[in-house]
Each structure stands twice: as C-alpha cells, then as structure tokens.
C-alpha cells in the first residue's frame, strides 16, 4: 500500500479522509504542519518514504474576516506554506502531491445555464480564492521543474456530518420550524458535494494513473435550487421546510440594506460546476446521491 502524508487531518474533510484511509489499511502519516510561519519549516522527517502527499491544511475562507490584510494572511498559509511543503516533497522523492483547492479559483457565480469547467481561466474574486489560485500556479511550476505529479481538486460547498457555517444554520432553522422567505428561489442552481463523495474522489486520485497533473472539479452530479435544497433537507429530517415566497429582487434589496450581499449571492445566484472531465478521465461517479448525502448530514446534526 502507498505511504501517505496527510495534512489537515483535524479538519472537516481531513477527519473523514483519515478514517477512510485507516479502514483501507493505507499507511498514513498525519502531519500537523505550521504552514506560513516566518521561517521555513523542515518537513524532511515527515516526508521520508512518502509516495503521496494529500494536502488539506489551509487558512480557510471565513464569513467574518478579522485580518487587516486578508490577502497577505491567506497567501502566507495557502500559497507560501503550500509551495514550501511541495518543494520539500519533491526533494524527498514524493511521487504525487494532491492539493485540495477551491471552486473559488474559478469565481463566485455562473450565468444561467452555464457551468464552471476544469480548464476555464481562473477568476477568483476574494483573497481566499486568489491565494488558492496562486498556490495552483506555483504547484504546476514545481511539477514542470521536478517531475513530481500534481493533482488539483476544486470542490464547491462541502456538506456532511459536522458541517458548520451557513449549511448548519439552514439545517438548524428547519429543525426548529423557523419560517424562511425562500420559496420563490426556484430558478437558481447550486452545485454541492457531500463529504463522502469528496473523500471518495480524493482517495481515487491518490494513485490513479490518469490523475497526474490534472485539475478536477467535483460535485454530487445534481444541482439544486435553494428552495429544492431546503425542501429536501426537510425530507431528510422528517419535517417540512416552512418556506414562504418573497420575490427575489426584494430579497436582494433587503440583503443589501443590512450588508449581507454575500449571503444573498450564495442563496439566490447560480454556481454550477461541470464534472464531465472528472468522470471521463478517472471513470469516476459520485458514489452517493444528494439525498443520501443530506441524510448523513442530518444524522450528524442530531449527534452533535
């Protein structure tokens, strides 16, 4: 079995991936890296005899940024820290470096009927997305210079047991029977990916020959409107989502008045990804459906 180095093992995705790797019997070294520290860290001991680095550790995108210079803060960890690790991995003879990036490298939204593709020109609009794009550019340069294989995966919103932030807030609102003014939001489409589907793709990319030096987009393969997502979450909980209609233009105007344009964008606009390249290159299909993914997320909420 390949020897793996996993970073970010304490994170939302990392915990699930570490458990799956243990179940499969892969030899996985867990490394708690101090990415982006002022002085370069020596990771040579952690990288000894490693076939593949699965790099999940990152400064994550947050709704309420506190840094006075977010781009510098994100680049210190997500760009510089990633590239320092990758350079040392190449020197240590690591064959493959698997990098969890973000769909934010592509952008924040898509036009109706259109989807982001793996080969689109990057168009990040926030500091997090810029830092991830810059890391991708640097990783590709390292691949050319050293021959180490790079695999980049750009997920959209990931949900599953233990999910936090807006997705958890939606589940709690339905659980409490709160009325939500989103019944009219039926024309947008959002791509999501369940935790289990993302972990399955990560595992597939560890040693799949065709994954080398590729960029993959990932989703559940079914895109939902906001109203449909909420109703199907309600079905998974066994209680109806209490939705009432407010015209979308009024929702946008209200969000603007209270400074929540970003929240409105995520609830009202489109963000779709085309995973045909992922399917065709790897012969990969999302192993679980949206509804099963939602049931697992709800089960996690009940256990928390």
Q: 122 vs 45, which has greater pLDDT?
A: 122
CB 83 within 8 A of CB 127: no
Within-domain flag for 282: yes
State the average pLDDT over residues 272-278. 98
The pLDDT value recorded for residue 110 is 95
**pLDDT score recorded for residue 46:** 87
Print the domain residue range for 134.
3-159+193-221+274-287
For residue 214, what are the β-bridge partners?
151
**For the whole model, what pTM was predicted?**
0.92
Count of structural domains, the chain: 1
**DSSP element (H, E) containing 165:** helix 165-175
Q: What 3-state DSSP class applies to 42?
A: coil
Position 36 scores a pLDDT of 58
% of the chain residues with pLDDT over 90:
72
Residue 249 maps to a domain: no
What are the tokens at 267?
Answer: 């609830």
Q: For 162-219, how does the pLDDT look when each residue is reduced to its tens digit (9 = 90+)?
A: 888 889 999 999 999 999 999 999 999 999 999 999 999 999 999 999 999 999 999 9
pLDDT on residue 227: 97
Q: Are 79 and 138 in contact (CB under 8 A)?
A: yes
In 226-289, which ranges are continuous DSSP H helix? 226-237, 248-257, 261-268, 276-282
Whether the per-residue pLDDT at 304 is higher than 90: the answer is no
Q: Is the pLDDT of residue 67 over 80?
A: no
CATH number of the CATH domain containing 20: 3.40.50.720
User: Which is nearest to 267 in space by CA: 217, 238, 228, 233?
Assistant: 228
Q: Is residue 245 part of a domain?
A: no
Q: How confident is the model at residue 26 (pLDDT cuts 50, 70, 90)?
A: confident
- Which residue did the predictor score with more confidence, 36 or 258? 258
- Provide the pLDDT confidence category of residue 38 given band limits of 50, 70 and 90: low
Question: CB within 8 A of 93, min separation 6: which ones?
Answer: none
* Catalytic residue positions, numbered: 128
171 within a domain of the structure (yes/no): no
- Does residue 246 lie in a domain region? no
């Amino acid at each position: 079995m390949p020897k793996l180095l996993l970073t970010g093992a304490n994170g939302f995705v990392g915990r699930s991936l570490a458990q799956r790797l243990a179940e499969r019997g892969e030899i996985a070294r867990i490394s708690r890296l101090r990415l982006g520290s002022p002085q370069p860290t020596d990771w040579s001991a952690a990288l000894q005899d490693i076939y593949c680095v699965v790099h999940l550790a990152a400064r994550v995108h947050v709704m309420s940024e506190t840094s006075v210079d977010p781009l510098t803060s994100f680049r210190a960890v997500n760009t510089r820290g990633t590239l320092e690790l990758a350079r040392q991995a190449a020197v240590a003879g690591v064959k493959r470096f698997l990098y969890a990036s973000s769909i934010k490298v592509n952008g924040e939204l898509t036009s109706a009927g259109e989807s982001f593709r793996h080969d689109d020109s990057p168009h990040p609009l926030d500091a997090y997305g810029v830092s991830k794009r810059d890391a991708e550019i640097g990783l590709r340069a390292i691949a050319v210079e050293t021959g180490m294989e790079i695999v980049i995966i750009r997920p959209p919103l990931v949900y599953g047991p233990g999910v936090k932030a807006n997705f958890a807030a939606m589940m709690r609102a339905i659980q409490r029977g709160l009325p939500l003014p989103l019944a009219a939001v039926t024309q947008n489409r959002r791509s999501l990916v369940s935790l289990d589907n993302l972990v399955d793709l990560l595992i597939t990319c560890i040693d799949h020959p065709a994954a080398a030096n590729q960029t993959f987009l990932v989703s559940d393969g079914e895109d939902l409107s906001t109203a449909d997502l909420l109703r199907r979450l309600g079905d998974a909980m066994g209680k109806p989502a209490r939705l009432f209609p407010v015209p979308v233009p009024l929702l946008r105007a209200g969000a603007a008045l209270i400074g929540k344009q970003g929240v409105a964008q995520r609830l009202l606009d489109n963000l779709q990804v085309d995973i045909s390249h992922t399917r065709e290159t790897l012969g990969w299909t999302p192993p679980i459906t949206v509804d099963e993914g939602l049931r697992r997320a709800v089960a996690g909420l009940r256990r928390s």
